[in-house]
């Protein structure tokens, strides 16, 4: 029996595949993506436990063929467009990939009785003053959040109508090895709509090169930044839990960190004050809760985040530093 990880070469998907390989519970893991795997730990398993399928999420025929050929039992669906600026510039294609791609996966589940874990987002809550719990109403404040909310609602209807084993994991501002959002300059990064992960990436890139970066304001802006290994772990736990009591689970650190704290963690890693950020909040920040309540995932999935901000930043900086070496 095999498990498909759509988007298995991406940020979350590649770490999900790595965790599945490390666990050793799966007979076969299928990376279904338009890009080949890049993580060394995953590439080393190609031809053994891991199979790469060059496939587009919108290609229904390819999805069906892959499911039949590999005796698939379930799909972890991580494929999606997340870049806010790209989505605003290309809404039709972005909605098609995010929504229609998920519809294709749900149809596979209906036809072949597959377990489905959908990687959603805390963006489905929209503007919430402090934190969000799973029973809060879905009121997304942007197109990206709307695509995730639509997919969740459709998934719930497929589960109730056809009895498929479906669950969504609401991930939140994921950083770590594989993060590829462009971070060219302060002006580019802080032009609304602001992608918080681009801000974090710019700070890391400058820090590991020991280059000075002065950001005039925004240090008090807080978010629940989640290290990618914690995100992947929560997704895998949801996959292994057969028909969990709820259909959606928040997966994050469960804490809000300020940009000043991010800067301090980077400066501590490099051993000098490279990142300097003033007080105040960032204009054009996405309408999101500051953090997600993860008590439900702890109780019902056994999820416990292992990475606080400092540990996550240290590991990310270490990985980024090695990538700069000739």
Q: Which domains does the chain have, with CATH numbers?
A: 2-172+228-254+289-306 (3.40.50.720)
**pLDDT for the residue numbered 23:** 92
pLDDT of residue 326: 47
How many residues are present in the chain? 326
Nearest alpha carbon to residue 174 among 151, 153, 149, 196: 196
Q: Which of 101, 124, 105 is nearest to 172 (CA)?
A: 124
Average pLDDT across each block of 10 residues of the chain; the chain has 326 residues. List them in order.
96 96 93 93 90 97 96 97 92 97 98 97 95 97 96 98 97 93 81 91 94 94 98 98 94 97 97 96 92 98 97 96 70
Which pLDDT score is estimated for 324?
64
- What pTM does this model have? 0.96
Quote the pLDDT of residue 40.
87
* Structure confidence at residue 187 (pLDDT): 87
């Amino acid at each position: 029996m095999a498990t498909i990880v759509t988007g298995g070469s991406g940020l979350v998907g590649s770490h999900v595949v790595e965790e599945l390989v490390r666990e050793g519970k799966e007979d076969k893991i299928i990376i279904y993506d338009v890009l080949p795997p890049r993580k060394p730990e995953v590439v080393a398993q190609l031809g053994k436990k891991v199979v790469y399928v060059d496939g587009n999420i919108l290609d229904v025929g390819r999805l069906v063929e892959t499911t039949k050929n590999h005796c698939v039992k379930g799909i972890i669906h991580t494929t999606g467009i997340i870049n806010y600026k790209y989505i605003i510039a290309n809404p039709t294609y972005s909605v098609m990939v995010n929504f229609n791609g998920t519809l294709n996966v749900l149809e596979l589940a209906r036809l072949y009785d597959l377990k489905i874990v959908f990687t959603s987002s805390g963006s489905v809550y929209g503007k919430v003053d402090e934190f969000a719990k799973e029973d809060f109403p879905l009121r997304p404040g942007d197109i990206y959040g709307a695509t995730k909310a639509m997919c969740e609602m459709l998934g719930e209807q497929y589960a109730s109508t056809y009895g498929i084993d479906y669950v969504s994991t609401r991930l939140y501002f994921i950083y770590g090895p594989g993060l590829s959002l462009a971070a060219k300059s302060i002006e580019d990064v802080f032009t609304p709509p602001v992608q918080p992960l681009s801000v974090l990436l710019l700070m890391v890139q400058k820090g590991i090169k020991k280059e000075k970066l002065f950001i005039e304001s925004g240090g008090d802006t807080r978010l629940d930044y989640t290290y990618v290994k914690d995100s992947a772990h929560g997704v895998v736990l949801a996959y292994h839990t057969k028909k969990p009591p709820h259909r959606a689970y928040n997966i994050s650190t469960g804490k809000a960190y300020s940009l000043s704290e991010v800067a301090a963690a980077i400066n501590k890693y490099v051993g000098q004050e490279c990142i300097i950020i003033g007080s105040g909040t960032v204009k054009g920040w996405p309408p999101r809760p500051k953090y997600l309540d993860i008590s439900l995932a702890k109780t019902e999935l056994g999820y416990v985040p292992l990475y606080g901000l400092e540990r996550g930043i240290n590991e990310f900086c270490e990985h980024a530093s090695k990538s700069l070496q000739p």
